[in-house]
Structure 1
Amino acid sequence: MSDVVREAALKSEAGLSARELYRFFRAGEEETLALRGVSLRVRPGETVAVVGPSGAGKSTLLSCLAGLDEPSGGEVRVGAVRVSHRPETERARLRARHIGVLLQTRNLVAHLNVRDNVRLAHSAVRGRPAVSAEDLLEQVGLAGRAHALPRQLSGGELARAGLAVALANSPGVLLADEPTGELDGDTERLILRMLRDRAALGCAVLIVTHSAEAVRIADRVIALDDGRAHDVSA
């Protein structure tokens, strides 16, 4: 599929889907099955929370959905385009243009200030970014911290700066791994409100979380246990 056709397919059928995802890890003679046939869909404008105990496979699932890791079986699609089982360079290009990822370990380059981190994410976008770095930092309440390095930010500021980077490409899909795990209540509510705002604009949002507040604001909840997924929204 050509780049032009792929871009058109992504725009015409937004959203995220995964079908029968399996992920094996092998260490010597030991084999761990982290994902066992996980299927899910996140529609445009929908917020889905993925919950489960530690070790259930939540972060592995998010990495496969983002194209950061390859599933051992099954496939991931953004819109009509398959993201999985492609060379890393192709997955990275698709991710940079269409998927925003907010990682638990944050997604900031240590030697760049906040504004330049956002501009670096902008550099992967074709043409002029939809939102400037300055506007994004204003939206997350960091306009006055644009020149600060990551090590100079508080935990709440790091979370907001990471979200600005994840939103820099105006993604159709936004994946967040424990985005409010170490935040105070006010900052947690701010981050979750921004995630809901992106969904209201048509973004497909998936949150891996232990937060009761994140579960409360989700449209659907998927429980992951021992590598298997169950929709528990009903």
Structure 2
Amino acid sequence: MGRTGDATADILTARDLYRFYRSGREETLALRGVSLSLRRGETLAVIGPSGSGKSTLLACLAGLDEPDGGYVYVGGERVSHLPEGERARVRARRIGVLLQSGNLLPHLDLDGNIRLARSATRASGDPSRRPGIDELLEQVGLGTRGRALPRELAGGERARAGLAVAVANEPDVLLADEPTGELDGPTEQRILDLLQDRARRGAGVLLVTHSRQAVRIADRVIALRDGRIRP
């Protein structure tokens, strides 16, 4: 079911993002003036070699890291250059994040992980637009695994469980870092189908990826090299 509002509007905007890291006297420029936008219902793939700044860019877009220059807005709300507590609140309402390291707490079963993700927006979110936990797990093909702990899941199941947590609050933007990096072909395609479904539902989807299959589902592709967008 699509969302209301202007389907062509930019849901995420980033302008002139810079990020550098210091180690002693050495300085590494991870991002050098990156600007991009993402529309509702659009899938954007960010590609580039290792060390090009892709994961740093995703972290800045998600409000998990602060750019040293530039800004990020999601759904008209500022994400960058805010105290961490405020960034976390915007992230809980607006952004779903699927990281390579996973987003499942090992001591909670899948039901518990989803409940925890939703607790951050209990006061301000709109529960009426969110599917129940059983329905959400059914959507990702895990309808019978709600009581399973992360360690009891196979690799493809963990990827789908992580996606269920990332979309638990029906985010406006879904950011995924190598979501199919360690999956076999059929499982990779299933995850990509689920990501496409989120875009059809009106979310903006941004994928950091090396996967040719993931690039094929994208509406647009941006190439990063040495912290800059390349033609």
SS of the equivalent of 1:110 reads: coil
CA distance in 1, matches of 2:152, 2:107: 11
RMSD: 1.5
TM-score by length of 2: 0.92
CA shift, 1:193, in A, is: 0.8
Letter in 1 for 2:127: R
Aligned counterparts, 1:115-134, within 5 A: 115-125=111-121, 126-128=125-127, 130-134=130-134
Residue deviations 1:90-136, cap 9 Å, x none? 00000011100001111001100011101111112235261111111
Q: 2:29 aligns with which of 26, 33, 39?
A: 33
Match of 1:21 in 2: 17
Match of 1:146 in 2: 146
Matched, 1:217 2:217: yes
Aligned counterparts, 1:150-169, within 5 A: 150-169=150-169
Q: 8 Å contact 1:49–1:221 — kept in the other structure? A: yes
Letter in 1 for 2:53: G
Letter in 2 for 1:208: V
Give 5+ residue unaligned stretches, structure 2: 1-8
Q: 8 Å contact 2:21–2:30 — kept in the other structure? A: yes
Match of 1:68 in 2: 64
CA distance in 2, matches of 1:229, 1:18: 13
Aligned counterparts, 1:1-234, within 5 A: 15-125=11-121, 126-128=125-127, 130-230=130-230
CA distance in 1, matches of 2:77, 2:139: 31
SS of the equivalent of 2:100 reads: coil
CA distance in 1, matches of 2:66, 2:189: 32
Residue deviations 1:132-175, cap 9 Å, x none? 11111001111111111111111101100000000001000000
Letter in 2 for 1:30: E
CA shift, 1:230, in A, is: 3.0
CA distance in 1, matches of 2:181, 2:228: 23
Letter in 2 for 1:143: G
SS of the equivalent of 1:15 reads: strand
CA distance in 2, matches of 1:163, 1:14: 23
Give the percent of matched residue pairs that are identical in Structure 1 and Structure 2: 67
Letter in 1 for 2:218: A
CA distance in 1, matches of 2:184, 2:16: 37
Give 5+ residue unaligned stretches, structure 1: 1-12
Q: Which moved further from structure 2: 118-127 or 156-165?
A: 118-127
Q: 8 Å contact 1:114–1:145 — kept in the other structure? A: yes
TM-score by length of 1: 0.91
For these two proteins, the number of residue pairs brought into alignment is 221
CA shift, 1:79, in A, is: 2.1
Q: 8 Å contact 1:14–1:172 — kept in the other structure? A: no
Q: 8 Å contact 1:115–1:133 — kept in the other structure? A: yes
